[in-house]
Amino acid sequence: MTLCIAAECTHKAKSAIVLCCDWRAERGRIYQELVGSEDVDKIRWIESTPFSAMLAGSETKADELLTACDEVIRTFSETVPDVNSDLEITRFLENLRKVARARKREIIEHYVGMKLGISYEDFLKTAKRRFSEAQYVDELENIRQLGLGAEVIICGFHGDEPLTVKLDADGELHWETNYSVIGDGADIALAFLAQREYDTEMPLMECLLRVYEAKRAAEVNRHVGKLTTFEVLVQGRKRFDISDTCFKLLKRTVEKRHALPKLGFKGKYLEILEDEPAKEPRQDSPLSSGPDSSYGTTK
C-alpha cells in the first residue's frame, strides 16, 4: 500500500484534520512480478473514539499493527483533557512504543521459527554453537534488518487539540506538527507540502487543496495510485467525506493551476460519514506537468 497524508487545519472555529490516501495495492512478490490494483481502502475509523488511522506498507502487517495499537488508542481516548494533557499524550506515545516493540518481537519469532526451526530464545542461547560463525553473523544481521513491514498515522483529538502521530516501519514514534505523510510517495508529497509556510489556522478548503496538490504530485511515483479518498475529522463533530462538487473544484484548481475562489467555496462540500462508511474513490486524470505553488487562498 502506498500514499497517505494527514494535515491539520480549522473549520468553522473548530480544529480539523484532513485525511487523504490513494487506493493502490501491489501483490505478487513471490514470483518477483508485482501486480497493481486500486481496490484497497487505507483509512480505518477507531470505532467509538475521535480517532482514525491510515495504513501503508504490507496490507496484512499494517492491519495487524493497527489492531495491536487498538487498545492503547481506546484507553487514551477515554482520558480527560486537563492540565496534565501533555503527560497523558507522553504516556500514550510510550504505550505505542511498547506495542511496536512487542510487534517486532512477534515478527522476529516468526522469522526465526520459519527460517531456522527454533525459537528466538533458543537462537540467542545456542546459535553460536549450532551454526558456523558466518551463518550466525548473517542471521543476526537479518534479524536486525527486520522492521514492522508497515507504517501507521493515527490522528484525532484530545479535547480541543488535534493530535497526529506517526508510527514508522522502524518502530519510531513521531508526534507530528501540521502534517504527516507515509508510503512510497511520501518524499514527493512532503516536498510539496513544505513549499509554503503552514498554519493550522488555515481554512479547511485551503488545506484540502494543499493535500490534494501533494497527492497528485506524488503520482509520478509509479507505486502511487490515481484514485483518491478524503476523510475530514472535525473536533467535537462527526467524520465527513467531501462532496463530488468539492472534489471537482479541487481537481480543476490543481489541473488548471487556478486560485480557489476568493469568496470561498459556495455549496455543500462536506458529507457526513456513517459508522460504516462506503467511501467512493475519485479518479484523477494524468497531469501534463507537476502543479506549482501559485495557488490562492480562501479568506
Cβ 189 vs Cβ 214: under 8 Å: yes
Between CA 158 and CA 183, with CA 63 as vertex, the angle to 5 degrees is 80
Q: Structural domains in the chain?
A: 4-111+148-283 (3.60.20.10), 115-144 (no CATH)
Confidence at residue 4, expressed as pLDDT on a 0 to 100 scale: 97
Cβ–Cβ contacts within 10 Å for residue 271, how many? 13
* Confidence band for 261, pLDDT divided at 50, 70 and 90: low
Query: What's the whole-number mean pLDDT along residues 68-79?
Result: 95
Range name among 26-30, 112-116, 196-200 with the lowest pLDDT average: 26-30
Q: How confident is the model at residue 25 (pLDDT cuts 50, 70, 90)?
A: confident
Categorise residue 48: left if φ over 0, alpha if ψ from -120 to 50, beta otherwise.
left
Q: What angle do CA 230, 232, 235 make, to 5 degrees?
A: 170
Mean pLDDT confidence for 163-176: 96
* Least confident stretch, 71-75, 86-90, 99-103: 86-90
Residue 63, CA distances (Å) to 56, 57, 103, 115, 170 in order: 9, 10, 12, 24, 16
* pLDDT range class, residue 28, cuts 50, 70, 90: confident
Between 23-27, 43-47, 173-177, 293-297, the lowest mean confidence (pLDDT) is in 293-297
d(CA 255, CA 298): 18
Handedness of CA 86, 87, 88, 93 (dihedral sign): positive
CB atoms within 10 A of CB 34: 11
**Distance from C-alpha of 241 to C-alpha of 236, rounded to nearest angstrom:** 16
Per-residue pLDDT band at 26 (split at 50, 70, 90)? confident
